């Protein structure tokens, strides 16, 4: 199927859509970055999508993936982006993962910048290993319900595969992202 119409509409959308306000924040140690919440993204883009005859919706797939669909209403042409989310076990963790996947897939399809680039680090800066004490504190913070600890640890420390796995599993167990 030829995608000329949807590509033209997406091009026009990107020219017209204003910057997305980064309305949420993650803060941990020396790491601090802002990102746009899903609600804020939708609020910002919806009027422009409407003017360009574009619509979107998300679906959840049987394999645990979240899929974002963009349709050009006039031509019926569509594009999709899918992100597989881990099976977190409890409803709260699954909900947090679904929300993240919706934000990520929508932003990816529309070419939106919805967070600060937290991966940029000076070339000379090397991450130190996460000490046992710091790892225990990170685990305690997860158990206390604090969000985004995994992201914050990865931003500052070189995690071992075991530490990373334990933090991911603990975050899922407590329904956190």
Give CA–CA dist 23/77, Å, rounded: 32
For 70-94, what is each residue's pLDDT tens digit?
999 999 999 999 998 877 677 888 8
Q: What is the pLDDT of residue 122?
A: 45
The pLDDT confidence band at residue 119, using thresholds 50, 70 and 90, is: low
Cα–chain-centroid distance for residue 17? 20
Which range, 9-23, 120-134, 163-177, is most confident? 9-23
Q: What is the pLDDT of residue 147?
A: 77
Q: What is the pLDDT of residue 169?
A: 80
The pLDDT confidence band at residue 25, using thresholds 50, 70 and 90, is: confident
Segments making up each domain of the chain, as ranges: 1-120, 122-177
Q: What is the pLDDT of residue 117?
A: 57
DSSP string, the chain: ---HHHHHHHHHHHHHPPPPP--EEEEETTEEEEE--HHHHHHHHHHHHHHTTEEEEEEE-TTSEEEEEEEETTT--EEEEEEE----SSHHHHHHHHHHHHHHHHHHHHT---B--TT---TT--PEEPPHHHHHHHHHHHHTT-TTHHHHHHHHEE--HHHHHHHHHHHHHTT--
Section 25-50 average pLDDT: 87
Q: What is the pLDDT of residue 125?
A: 55
Q: Is the pLDDT of residue 172 over 80?
A: no
Please check whether residue 35 is in contact with residue 24, taking contact to mean a CB–CB distance below 8 angstroms. Answer: yes
Pairwise pLDDT comparison (104 vs 26), residue with the higher score: 104
Section 146-171 average pLDDT: 82
Section 43-53 average pLDDT: 96
Give CA–CA dist 44/124, Å, rounded: 38
């Amino acid at each position: 199927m030829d995608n000329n119409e949807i590509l033209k509409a997406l091009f026009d959308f990107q020219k017209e859509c204003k910057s997305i306000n980064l309305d949420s924040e993650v803060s941990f140690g020396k790491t601090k970055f802002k990102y746009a919440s899903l609600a804020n993204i939708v609020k910002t883009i919806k009027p422009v999508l409407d003017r360009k005859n574009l619509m979107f919706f998300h679906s959840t797939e049987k394999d645990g993936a979240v899929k974002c669909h963009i349709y050009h209403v006039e031509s019926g042409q569509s594009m999709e982006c899918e992100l597989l989310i881990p099976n977190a076990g409890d409803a709260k963790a699954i909900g947090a993962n679904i929300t993240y996947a919706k934000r990520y897939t929508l932003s990816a399809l529309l070419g939106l910048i919805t967070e600060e680039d937290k991966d940029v680090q000076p070339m000379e800066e090397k991450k130190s290993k996460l000490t046992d004490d710091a790892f225990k504190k990170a685990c305690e913070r997860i158990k206390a319900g604090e969000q985004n600890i995994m992201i914050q640890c990865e931003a500052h420390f070189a995690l071992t595969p075991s530490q990373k796995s334990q933090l991911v599993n603990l975050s899922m167990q407590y329904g956190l992202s």
